Amino acid sequence: MDIKDGVLFGSGSEHPSLKKGREEGVWRGSCHCENVRWTARLENAEHVLCHCATCQKLGGGPYSCNQIIPKEGLVIVSGNENVGEYEYKGASGKFVHCYFCKSCTSHIYHHQDVMPDKIIVRTLLLDGGGSMPATGEIFAEGKLSWVRDLKEELAAGQ
Ligand SMILES: [Zn+2]
Ligand SMILES: [Zn+2]
């Protein structure tokens, strides 16, 4: 979301695409330009924060909001031809495949060779994701000191 069209730290400005999309744990998602749309089935509507250096680089923020779900739990509904792939070698030496919108660069999900049956979906891109709680975190050693100040009581990661 562009700074100009939102209210920073104010009451949430509702993006036109933000319609509650909840049917039995199935959430609708879209990239910023809305060329790509998808659905994701979540067992629990919650975020796991990742503080790793790669998420910081790719997203330009202090952490990313994710959930690991079964691969079949994510369905690209439209714009599949607009989904690009970027891959890098993870700490394990195996590849991580990042799938993103080629127009606006929103990252939709990641797929790791070490977890072939699972994908990592970016939960904040799901409609209503802004109201999901953050219930866990990984790579907490990468957490920026001021993020700790923002939310001290969040359970310590592993
Ligand atoms: Zn897009
Ligand atoms: Zn990460």
Q: What's the CATH class of domain 22-78+117-150?
A: mainly beta
CA distance 83 to 102: 6
The per-residue pLDDT of the chain, averaged, comes to 86
Contact 122, 65 (CB under 8 A): yes
Ligand 2 centroid, distance to 111 Cα (angstroms): 12
Ligand 1 centroid, distance to 13 Cα (angstroms): 20
pLDDT at 147 over 80: yes
Q: What pTM value is reported for the model?
A: 0.79
Contacts of 72 (CB under 8 A, 6+ apart): none
DSSP 22-55: -BTTEEEEE-SSSS-EEEEE-SS--EEEE--HHH
Task: Name the more confident of 66 and 7.
Answer: 66
pLDDT of residue 6: 46
Contact 37, 78 (CB under 8 A): yes
Strand partners, 84: 100
Over residues 85-97, mean pLDDT: 94
Q: pLDDT (tens digit, 9 = 90+) per residue, 3-60?
A: 555 444 444 444 444 444 446 899 999 999 999 999 999 999 999 999 999 999 999 9
pLDDT of residue 149: 76
Contact 154, 140 (CB under 8 A): no
Token duo for residue 128:
């209503």
Residues with CB under 5 A from ligand 1 (ion): 31, 33, 35, 101, 103-104
Ligand 2 centroid, distance to 20 Cα (angstroms): 27
Contact 62, 86 (CB under 8 A): no
pLDDT of residue 68: 97
SS3 131: helix
